[in-house]
């Protein structure tokens, strides 16, 4: 249950109510909100004089639900706006891993050329094998930061585990929680108090229910700016790397108030399918896409098969505006 | 291996070669083709004087592969053309099951109103429970046939099992092999010699490899007109009925020469998501979509949750042409 | 709902009741039973004088449920008894495909040597590729039949599709419905009136719910002798061929009254794991196991990697009795 | 590739070789070992005079492979021994979460009564919802520690994220890495240098390949005592909570040198199936099982449906020794 307390309730009283109901208290100058387990369906009548509004739920999708907030949340990343009434579909591109200054700068310049506003790149890579390239670490973060300063791009980069989260918060405009880290309470809790938007990727073995619950960890920590990212789930099919779950995206659009960004590159794992899939994602009417690109994919230190080269990305990018327009949206 | 024999090779000689190579022989007035297991990578030099052209393969995708035929097959269904150079995306609609003359005629009239050219409807339903509605059977087939005569619509209907396949061949313009029947050798072999196009649906537990192998059964039986239909696979996610595999569709478009039709209705299982998903399918650049619709879905005897009502379908249909145009295609 | 009618109700009256309730009527000399969709939870009071006993259900597991019949069904295959109070665990072995008289006879003799009572072998193989060995067909069925006559073995063989089901009914002691055919209404309905036990394999993409519903098709057709066979489901894991679902077996043992036989050979797909897995199956306390064996697996025309050679099977077989004894069961 | 350097190679030289080959160096008084990416298949001949032994691999299962060490690793947890030549199968039990001193002490006493030597209990729970019980945290760890002192039991408890790993290392005898944390580099790297055995649970969406790679992170960090735990994978089947992957266990037993412990409780998620499944696990010949039990499961704050009550556990425990004996093993 979500309970909006009446204005003027003292903070101490709100805290006592929270304790009594085993609830999370969200409070700022203008509002005080209690969030209880969804199993709670009613409160005692003696609460009547403190409760302004109540919302009862079927499952643990509460703050992030459309039942609670009808409209998709509006999220600002500097001068970029997604969600709300914007009708914007954000395109993000860049390499899987930051590998060198030359490499990341090539992609930053491609962004500038095409007016793409946000650059991606991994500094801390959650590789499955300990014997392969693990990312440049802090040096990679700093290269991304330099691209922001030099080219005015916004930066999204992934936190791998709780040990280096402060660095990602410092160097990124959007904190990306990767598919393998999305259950990490150390990360989720810290993001709840971070002052930056968070994009959380669905784990490849993660139920939609668990995915939105992970978002609830951040929302209930007080961070209102959470973006969901579907990047493919693991199924029995092995001709493609993962299976992009657009049925799940329909569910997220219907049931949640959170902007949705799609990652077709990781889903299929092969560059040949990325253009068609990206256009399909745009036609779904989502809030963004994130596409891997690399100056020379065949030499990439990770995800070599799925990154587009600059010409492939240019061609794809130019095909997106008409599709967006056909579904009433604008590429930003 | 596929071997094109030189013109003028006598039929008997071709049959002997087929026997020797454990190959399937495809023969008509103009050509004689041997298809062997893909494990065969070369033939003895004494075959040199009979072989016009040879194709070697990595797996059992042979006649249906783009490696064998670069261009997507052109398929004619009366005056409807898909594949080839047509750039056509066919829209098919109609109810899950034929339930009554009034019901099917309402949907036939909706097709006429919108200039939709093909009507779907199930007469023999492969229900999972023996205690629920099993379809009208032959009476349903005849109602579909009447709609064709009265309204000039093309008909697609599903064969449930080998015992009534002759009836489906007689009454349909396109024979639909359902997801639960796609391994049925009785059906596949009979379709190989049927003189009508066949649309084969991917089983919900079926690998892409097996899916195209099922098409090979029909192709190697001599029927060149096979359409693939992706309708959602079964994954761990249970908030939606199935998971539409658009990554798999990318694979099919890249590797096969067969037209592809998508069924978003069965994939998600809920009407709310069908419009977004259908537009995504159109943006993939496929050859068709098949959308379930019903005069009054909540009273439907099967698949009640996923069928669109006439107004929902009208609204969706009108939104498709701009998306198709944005990717260089035309709705037919 | 299942309704036992009072003794002495005339057949015509029972038929009328069945029609009124859209129910299946099961009738013989001693009993008349109506089976309705599980959605029906009560009947009008005017039925009071014909109803002897009623059973209400949550889902479409009715005749096969433990709620209806507490004890596992007893099934006789000639002199072999499984289920009921027998405590028997039946071991079945033989090759994937019948390939030649020498081959099948070698395995028949191995059965005799070890006192294994039932021989398996496929005559009609549901291969996924049209370009590989499809089984010996009728010749294979006849070879199996000869082994029965010569060595007194019981025979189990698979029906591939509805076109040759009469032959399988004639030549087998137990009719096997394969994983790819288990939704085939042509087969399920015919098995309902066949006078022989039926072992139905779970499809690799089949829900437990659908699996027991397939059994209900046969049970409601009047054949009381249905055995369930779990043989591995398709999951994201690809180091093994399938994933044997023993959690699902626990569910089947808890909820159904049908004997359960397990097929570890198809599940893992590699001979190295078959012994451990077979012992695990025996320790589950199931009614049987079916193990693929072949005189010389590396030359097998199908499933070469998973068949045990005679020595491997001998060694495995001898290890089973102690495990069975440890869980209070007897190998037959 | 794994390279054993000749005795007497100086540490500095070994470090230079490691740098040159991008290898991990494992060094102690008696040996120096280089581990390179598995892609490396040979080294230059100028290495001949430093290389004592070389091992080439197909994939990134190296230190943990049977190809490298034929025999299963022997692991000591105080006076408990598993793996090696011991033939021991360790039984671990206890509640999902430590809830109170009374609760955990009840289960500790049950262990003492039955001579079970290791107690499990979660203090930091990786719950999917932020609005439910999250574990007692440090207070829970201390209660477990008290049980060790009072009853001489060994303790296994789960690390949830990298922020509290030092506490788990301090209070546990075996560090458990949970299914949701097994990709966490912060945890994996720290465990590599921890002086205690680590039991790593397979993620429910994790490939066997990735599972053993996670173990390689710890092994290559210098900790030789890694145990694998299969606890069920997520599949399309939803009548049970997960699907215990015993085919995968066969693979792990065949290909790795790491002891394997199975967790049937989390796999099925329902107490009714735990006894049969546990006996199946024992019959697989694995190194241990971990079974959830609780003084009064229906009141449990987490995993209420799957925990056994003391009587159910007693009955199960007593049935295990005969099964173990039947497969040549001893319960400890």
Interchain CB distance below 8 Å, D128 and A38: no
Interchain CB distance below 8 Å, A235 and C238: no
Q: Which of A237, A251, A282 sits opposite B248 (nearest CB)?
A: A237
Low-confidence ranges of chain B (pLDDT < 70): none
Most confident of C10-19, C157-166, D102-111: D102-111
Which residues, listed in sequence order, are joined to residue D200 by a DSSP beta bridge?
D177, D228
Interchain CB distance below 8 Å, B236 and A232: no
Q: Cα angle vertex B186, ends B182, B188, to 5°?
A: 45
Q: What is the mean pLDDT of residues D186-203?
A: 96
- The confidence band for C136, taking pLDDT boundaries of 50, 70 and 90, is very high
- The confidence band for D60, taking pLDDT boundaries of 50, 70 and 90, is confident
Which position has the token pair 């405590």?
A: C87
Q: Which residues of D253-262 are buried (b: 16+ CB within 10 A; e: fewer)?
A: bebbbbbbbb
pLDDT at D91 over 90: yes
| C-beta separation of A101 from A76 below 8 A | no
CA-wise closest residue to D287 among D240, D324, D244 = D324
Least confident of A324-328, B107-111, D34-38: D34-38
Three-state DSSP string of A32-80 = EEEECCCCCCCCCHHHCCCEEEEECCCCCCCCCECCCCCCCCCEEECCE
Query: What value of ipTM does the predicted structure carry?
Result: 0.96
CA-wise closest residue to D294 among D113, D120, D116 = D120
Q: Which of B36, B185, B221 sits opposite C131 (nearest CB)?
A: B36
Beta-carbon contacts of D57 under 8 Å, excluding residues fewer than 6 positions away, are D1, D2, D38, D65, D67, D68
The reported pLDDT for the residue numbered B163 is 87
Q: What is the pLDDT of residues D292-310, one digit of tens each?
A: 999 999 999 988 899 999 9
Beta-carbon contacts of C251 under 8 Å, excluding residues fewer than 6 positions away, are C208, D239, D240, D268, D273
- The count of other CB atoms within 10 Å of the CB of residue B105 is 16
**Which has more confidence, D47 or C71?**
C71
User: D28 by DSSP, 3-state: which?
Assistant: coil
The reported pLDDT for the residue numbered D29 is 80
| C-beta separation of B301 from B133 below 8 A | yes
The reported pLDDT for the residue numbered C320 is 98
The sign of the CA dihedral D269, D274, D276, D280 is: positive
Query: Among all residues of chain B, which has the CA nearest to that of D240?
Result: B236
Q: What are phi and psi of C287, to 5 degrees?
A: -90, -5
pLDDT at D133 over 90: no
What are the chain D neighbours of A210 within 8 Å (beta carbons)? 128
Three-state DSSP string of chain A = CEEEECCCCCHHHHHHHHHHCCCEEEECCCCEEEECCCCCCCCCHHHCCCEEEEECCCCCCCCCECCCCCCCCCEEECCEEECCCCCEEEEEEECCECCCHHHHHHHHHHHHHHCCCEEECECCCCCCCCCCCCCCCHHHHHHHHHHHHHHCCEEEEEECCHHHHHHHHHHCCEEEECCCCCCCHHHHHHHHCCCCCEEEECCCCCCHHHHHHHHHHHHCCCCCCEEEEECCECCCCCCCCCECEHHHHHHHHHHECCCEEECHHHHHCCHHHHHHHHHHHHHCCCCEEEEEECCCHHHCCCCCCCCECHHHHHHHHHHHHHHHHHCCCEEC
Tokens of B242: 């199935």
pLDDT at A57 over 90: yes
* Max intra-chain CA distance, chain A: 67
Kindly report the nearest CA distance between residue B238 and chain D, in angstroms: 8
Kindly report the nearest CA distance between residue A295 and chain D, in angstroms: 24
pLDDT at D174 over 90: yes
Kindly report the nearest CA distance between residue B262 and chain A, in angstroms: 13
**Radius of gyration over every alpha carbon of chain C, rounded to an integer in angstroms:** 21
pLDDT at D30 over 90: no
pLDDT at D267 over 90: yes
- The count of other CB atoms within 10 Å of the CB of residue B166 is 12
B141 CB-contact burial (10 Å; exposed 0-12 / middle 13-18 / buried 19+): buried
Which position has the token pair 């994978």?
A: D233
With contact defined as 3+ CB pairs under 8 Å, the chains touching A are B, C, D
What are the chain A neighbours of D37 within 8 Å (beta carbons)? 129, 131-132
The reported pLDDT for the residue numbered C302 is 87
Which position has the token pair 């260089």?
A: B328
| C-beta separation of C93 from C313 below 8 A | yes
The sign of the CA dihedral A299, A301, A306, A312 is: negative
Q: Which of B250, B276, B325 sits opposite A284 (nearest CB)?
A: B276
The reported pLDDT for the residue numbered C207 is 98
- The confidence band for D125, taking pLDDT boundaries of 50, 70 and 90, is confident
In Å, how far from its chain's centre is CA C134?
22
Q: What is the mean pLDDT of residues C252-275?
A: 98
- The confidence band for D329, taking pLDDT boundaries of 50, 70 and 90, is very high
Query: Among all residues of chain B, which has the CA nearest to that of A269?
Result: B247
**Chain C residues with at least one Cβ partner in D under 8 Å:** 205, 207-209, 232-233, 235-251, 253-254, 267-268, 270, 272-273, 276-277, 279-285, 319, 322-323, 325-327
Kindly report the nearest CA distance between residue A233 and chain C, in angstroms: 10
Best interface-test mutation with D: which of B236, B237, B240, B245 has the largest number of D CBs within 10 A? B236
Kindly report the nearest CA distance between residue B212 and chain A, in angstroms: 12
| C-beta separation of A35 from A66 below 8 A | no
Interchain CB distance below 8 Å, B186 and C161: yes
pTM of the model: 0.96
The reported pLDDT for the residue numbered A306 is 95
- What is the C-alpha to C-alpha distance for residues D324 and D330, in angstroms, rounded to an integer? 6
What are the chain A neighbours of C234 within 8 Å (beta carbons)? 236
What are the chain B neighbours of D234 within 8 Å (beta carbons)? 236
- Kindly list the distances between the CA atom of residue C2 and the CA atoms of C32, C63, C220, C222, in Å, as whole numbers in the listed order: 11, 8, 11, 14
What are the chain C neighbours of D284 within 8 Å (beta carbons)? 276-277, 279-280
Q: What are phi and psi of D157, to 5 degrees?
A: -145, 155
DSSP C287: S
The reported pLDDT for the residue numbered C29 is 80
Which position has the token pair 């009454």?
A: B171
The reported pLDDT for the residue numbered D94 is 97
Q: What is the mean pLDDT of residues C175-202?
A: 95
Q: What is the mean pLDDT of residues D21-25?
A: 93
What are the chain B neighbours of D235 within 8 Å (beta carbons)? 236
- The count of other CB atoms within 10 Å of the CB of residue C98 is 29
**Chain A residues with at least one Cβ partner in B under 8 Å:** 205, 207-209, 232-233, 235-251, 253-254, 267-268, 270, 272-273, 276-277, 279-285, 319, 322-323, 325-327
What are the chain B neighbours of A308 within 8 Å (beta carbons)? none
Q: What is the mean pLDDT of residues D159-176?
A: 93
pLDDT at C28 over 90: no
Interchain CB distance below 8 Å, D36 and A186: no
- The confidence band for A46, taking pLDDT boundaries of 50, 70 and 90, is confident
- What is the C-alpha to C-alpha distance for residues B1 and B4, in angstroms, rounded to an integer? 10
- Kindly list the distances between the CA atom of residue B121 and the CA atoms of B77, B162, B210, C172, D77, in Å, as whole numbers in the listed order: 17, 19, 26, 38, 65
The reported pLDDT for the residue numbered B28 is 82
Q: What is the mean pLDDT of residues D142-167?
A: 94
The reported pLDDT for the residue numbered B53 is 94
| C-beta separation of B33 from B7 below 8 A | no
Q: What is the mean pLDDT of residues A47-64?
A: 93
- Kindly list the distances between the CA atom of residue C15 and the CA atoms of A292, B130, C35, C36, in Å, as whole numbers in the listed order: 66, 18, 12, 13
Q: What is the pLDDT of residues C272-281, one digit of tens each?
A: 999 999 999 9
Q: What is the pLDDT of residues C48-59, one digit of tens each?
A: 889 999 999 998
- What is the C-alpha to C-alpha distance for residues B279 and B268, in angstroms, rounded to an integer? 14
- What is the C-alpha to C-alpha distance for residues C167 and C155, in angstroms, rounded to an integer? 13
Which position has the token pair 């580099």?
A: D185
What are the chain D neighbours of A160 within 8 Å (beta carbons)? 185-186
Kindly report the nearest CA distance between residue C277 and chain D, in angstroms: 6
Tokens of C206: 């089949």
In Å, how far from its chain's centre is CA C221?
16
Which position has the token pair 């289920």?
A: C83
Q: What share of chain C is helix, strand, coil (3-state, %, to 5)?
A: 35, 20, 45
Q: Which of A247, A322, A325 sits opposite B273 (nearest CB)?
A: A247
**Chain D residues with at least one Cβ partner in A under 8 Å:** 23-24, 35-38, 60, 62, 124, 126, 128-132, 160-163, 180-181, 183-187, 203-207, 209-210, 213-214, 216-217, 220-221, 233-234
| C-beta separation of B218 from B197 below 8 A | no
The reported pLDDT for the residue numbered D316 is 98
The reported pLDDT for the residue numbered D47 is 85
Q: What is the mean pLDDT of residues A206-217?
A: 97
- What is the C-alpha to C-alpha distance for residues D149 and C272, in angstroms, rounded to an integer? 44
Kindly report the nearest CA distance between residue A171 and chain B, in angstroms: 33
In Å, how far from its chain's centre is CA C60?
19
Q: Which of C251, C276, C323 sits opposite D250 (nearest CB)?
A: C276
- What is the C-alpha to C-alpha distance for residues A57 and A66, in angstroms, rounded to an integer? 11
- The confidence band for D162, taking pLDDT boundaries of 50, 70 and 90, is confident
Q: What are phi and psi of A234, to 5 degrees?
A: -90, 125
Least confident of A3-17, B214-228, D257-271: A3-17
Least confident of C239-248, C323-332, D34-43, D317-326: D34-43
**Chain C residues with at least one Cβ partner in B under 8 Å:** 24, 35-38, 60, 62, 124, 126, 128-132, 160-163, 180-181, 183-187, 203-207, 209-210, 213-214, 216-217, 220, 233-234
Which stretches within chain C are classed as H helix?
11-20, 101-114, 138-151, 165-171, 185-192, 208-219, 246-255, 264-268, 274-283, 310-326
The sign of the CA dihedral A160, A166, A171, A174 is: positive
Kindly report the nearest CA distance between residue B82 and chain D, in angstroms: 35
Q: Which CATH topology does C75-331 take? A: TIM Barrel (3.20.20)
């Amino acid at each position: 249950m979500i309970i909006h307390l009446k204005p003027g309730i003292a903070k101490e009283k709100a805290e006592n109510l929270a304790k009594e109901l085993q609830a999370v208290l969200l409070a700022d100058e203008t509002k005080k909100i209690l969030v209880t387990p969804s199993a709670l369906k009613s409160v005692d009548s003696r609460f009547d004089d403190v409760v302004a509004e109540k919302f009862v739920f079927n499952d643990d999708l509460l703050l992030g639900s459309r039942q609670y907030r009808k409209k998709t949340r509006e999220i600002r990343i500097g001068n970029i706006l997604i969600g709300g009434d914007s009708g914007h579909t954000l395109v993000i591109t860049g390499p899987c891993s930051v590998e060198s200054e030359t490499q990341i700068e090539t992609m930053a310049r491609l962004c500038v050329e095409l007016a793409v506003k946000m650059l991606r790149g991994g500094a801390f890579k959650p590789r499955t094998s300990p014997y392969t390239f693990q990312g440049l670490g802090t040096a990679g973060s700093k290269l991304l930061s330099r691209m922001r300063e030099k080219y005015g791009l916004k930066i999204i980069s992934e936190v791998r585990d709780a040990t280096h989260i402060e660095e990602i918060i410092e160097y990124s405009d959007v904190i990306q929680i990767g598919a393998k880290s999305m259950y990490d309470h150390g990360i989720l809790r810290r993001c709840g108090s971070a002052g930056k938007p968070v994009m959380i990727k669905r784990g490849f073995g993660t139920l939609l229910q668990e995915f939105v619950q992970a978002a609830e960890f951040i929302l209930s920590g007080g961070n209102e700016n959470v973006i969901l990212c579907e990047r493919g789930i693991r199924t029995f099919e092995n001709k493609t790397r993962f299976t992009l779950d657009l049925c799940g995206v329909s569910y997220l659009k219907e049931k949640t108030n959170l902007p949705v960004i799609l990652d077709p590159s990781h889903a299929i794992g092969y560059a040949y399918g990325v253009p068609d899939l990206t256009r399909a994602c745009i036609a779904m009417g989502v809030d963004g896409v994130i596409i891997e690109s690399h100056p020379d994919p065949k030499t990439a230190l990770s995800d070599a098969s799925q990154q587009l080269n600059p010409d492939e990305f240019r061609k794809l990018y130019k095909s997106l505006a008409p599709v967006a327009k056909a579904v009433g949206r604008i590429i930003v």
